[in-house]
Amino acid sequence: MTGSVAERLGRAAVVTACVQAANVWSSGSGSAGQRWHRVAELHGAVALAHLASSGRVLPLVEFVDGLTGPLAALLPEGLRQDCDEAPLVEGDELSGPAFDLLRENLAPSVTATQVADWDWEMLSAEKIQGWLYGQLLATGSQEGYEAARLTVIRYAAGPLVDINDRVKQVGLPRDGLYEPIPGWAWATRNGERYWFACPICRWPMRFQLGRVACCYLPHASAIGTPLVKWGATGPPELGAWRRDRLSAAGIPHDVEVAANLVEEHVSLVRPVWRYSTVPGVEEWYLARKCNDMAGVTATLWPHTDAYDLLVEIEGRKRRWRVDVKDYTDPGRLVGVLARNEALRAGDMLIVVPAHRADQVGLLNERLQDAFGQPRRRFAATSAQFLRQVRTAARLEGR
């Protein structure tokens, strides 16, 4: 199959239909009849893919029953990937992995520059990053770009007055970039509403069943889901959480996670947090770790983010130009990277966070084939990359 028919039956279209249906079904917005009608429309695309793939008819009732389970159960076998085993919903909204899969596979007709009303539902991960890149470039200089980029990484949430001052200082807009603290983050008692920031990314953690957890699953896995403890009076406090896991993200062990009043606080809109702050934390961490090595210099976002990190060893011609990628769907990431002709250069390297280690083999295999370089290592984890730099620096020191 070719052209538009193949696109309608391909993974991106079918994943998008399934996740959008789960979102409609779980959200509770609109009448039951309206939700059934919208889900039935989305079911048509999925059913057609099943029919073309195996000749099987996927009943609407079976499709609806599967909207609260794993995505893999709704996909034709030929379109499934390991990442599809994640549940589609948590509570009454999309799970974090499902949100990622939707954004990474969404292929709307609009471009980032055409979105005037901040309809984030119309933007894929690539277009979200494209819009933000344009805003950062508008600062007009390398120094301005770096300052603005660090603001999005280090100020994922906070007091409205402080955020206003910060974004004004670096030339970013607040409207469309930040919003009030979402309701799912509120811990409430006696009319007072509080929220807690993730100690790694500083974005609001979800409050549920008396505990909080970062919406980015690897951060939640690292620090745990601490209990929110209320005293007789005053704001709540967090119970024990895994401080020993913070070193892997370059966060001091003594970092405080205090309760904040919801009023007059704001946070980045979720797509910008997920596709700029989260990978940005990894980029910032890698730069600091490299700069801590004797004889190694790491520069963030050279040439206004032509790539994420330039790492050089004093006295050697060896260098690495690094792009950090944090996608839930490795197949989709391969599709994005295979179009990047800059990857043909031998000093370019894709680095994924340590918790994406299972993606490295697939990325190398597919990119070797795409660029006709069968022995080339295109991708590594953060830990593998740091070991490589440390070894090269040690050899130079001899």
Per-residue pLDDT 10s for the chain (398 aa) are: 444 555 667 888 888 889 888 888 887 677 778 888 888 888 988 888 888 888 888 899 999 999 989 999 999 988 888 889 989 988 778 888 888 888 788 754 334 333 333 344 555 556 666 767 777 777 778 888 888 889 999 999 999 999 999 999 988 877 778 999 999 999 998 889 999 999 999 999 999 989 999 999 889 988 899 999 998 888 999 998 887 767 666 565 567 789 999 999 999 988 889 888 999 999 999 999 999 999 999 999 998 878 999 999 987 778 999 999 999 999 889 988 999 999 999 999 999 999 999 999 999 999 999 999 999 999 999 999 999 999 998 876 64
How far is 133 from 312, CA to CA, in rounded Å?
Answer: 25
* Residue 147 CB neighbours (<10 A): 17
Beta strands in 120-191 (DSSP E): 157-159, 178-180, 187-189
d(CA 218, CA 196): 17
Beta strands in the chain (DSSP E): 89-90, 93-94, 157-159, 178-180, 187-189, 192-195, 206-208, 211-213, 228-229, 237-238, 260-261, 265-268, 296-300, 309-313, 319-324, 348-352, 379-381
- Per DSSP (E only), the strands in 325-382 are 348-352, 379-381
Closest CA to 145 of 281, 308, 274: 308
What are the φ/ψ torsions at residue 311 (nearest 5 degrees)? Answer: -115, 125
Query: How far is Cα 379 from Cα 359, in angstroms, rounded to an integer?
Result: 9
Is residue 357 within 8 A of residue 381, CB to CB? The reply is yes
